[in-house]
Chain A
Amino acid sequence: MMQFLTWLEEWPLSVWVRESGALLAYPTILFLHTIGLAVVVGLSAAISLRALGVAPSIPCAPLQAYFRILWWGFWVNAAAGALLLVADATTTLTNPVFHIKMVLVFAAMCATIRLRGSLRRAAAAPDAQVNMRTWGCLCLLLWVGAVTAGRLMAYVGVVSGAPGLRNSL
């Protein structure tokens, strides 16, 4: 297993991301990961607040348009995350916090998909009993968990990141 992770890390792409020192490599990929996070978590949270009844005068049907943008953010993050992952395969993939993060991101995206479905049903039949509050609440909680796990990857276990970068205190 470790051999495979080392092999991943030795890819020219991985080495470039990790060691080139180019602003376009590690720093820009991290920035894209942050922007993607803000789009995915931010839109999911804002729509969850609507589902929880914060701004009830927002109609449910047109919110579908924002989910398409949310998915763009998700794929940007999946790609940026994959690059960061191969660059630091031996440290990240052996860090239990990373696995917890992946489970939480997966669960949060499932909750987001269910939130979208419940909003669609609420738009089609405004009188129907739909559990969008449950999905909104779960989305918020799971995203807080995923963000926390993501941030803690820089502190728990072997710290990865560009060489020379002080990730922790």
Chain B
Amino acid sequence: MPSFLHAGGAWLNGTWLSWAMSGGYPFLWPMCETLHVIGLALLFGIVGLLDLRMMGVGKGIPMGGLLRLIPWGIAGFALSAVTGFLFFTGDPFQYLNNVAFWWKMAFIGLAGVNVVIFYGTGLARRVEAMGPDEEAPLGAKMIGATSLILWAGVMYWGRMMPFIGNAF
């Protein structure tokens, strides 16, 4: 493990927040898990609605209308990210030493790259201008499918942490 990760993990581990998360307040961990799941469901539901529409499900819905839901998807991601960081704080080394954790982070990063490509290539602008019954360009369909696979992958690696790695 690189020394900065080791030092950072050791510092986090010594904080009050780490103590509170890892048993100081026993209700915190289950409560954060519940919020983590609610956040992922909100994110996946809204991302799914958008991706599936680009892939051709729910024709008749203008993409412009669906975009209003995006702030709620971001809120779901934020909820999961904050609670995820709290788990990490609670016991940094069980994650730093966990291969499934790193795969999960990599998949979140790839999902981010996918979003950057969507906006950077101008596909987002073309999709926003689509009429309600219009078919999305092939590039947008591929972005949508990639997004669904990557977010499912994030959930896979998250769920595998206790089994492939050894976290609780």
- Residues A108-160 near B (CB distance < 8 A): 143-144, 147-148, 150-152, 154-155
Least CB separation from B157: chain A residue? A31
Q: Tell me, yes or no, whether B160 is within 8 Å of chain A by CB.
A: yes
- Name the A residues within 8 Å of B72 (CB-CB): 46, 49, 54
Distance of A17 Cα from B44 Cα, bound (Å): 27
Q: Tell me, yes or no, whether A23 is within 8 Å of chain B by CB.
A: yes
- Name the A residues within 8 Å of B156 (CB-CB): 31
- Name the B residues within 8 Å of A81 (CB-CB): none
Distance of A62 Cα from B131 Cα, bound (Å): 14
B interface residues, tally (CB under 8 Å): 43
Shortest C-beta distance, A87 to chain B (Å), equals 15
Contact between A57 and B38, CB atoms less than 8 A apart: no
Size bracket, chain A contacts: 35 or more
Contact between A39 and B159, CB atoms less than 8 A apart: no
Distance of A31 Cα from B57 Cα, bound (Å): 25
Question: Which residue from A38, A50, A150, A152 sits with its C-beta under 8 Å from B155?
Answer: A38
Chain B residues with CB under 8 Å of chain A are 22-23, 26, 29-30, 33-34, 37-38, 40-46, 48-49, 52, 57-62, 64-69, 72, 132, 152, 155-156, 158-160, 162-164, 168
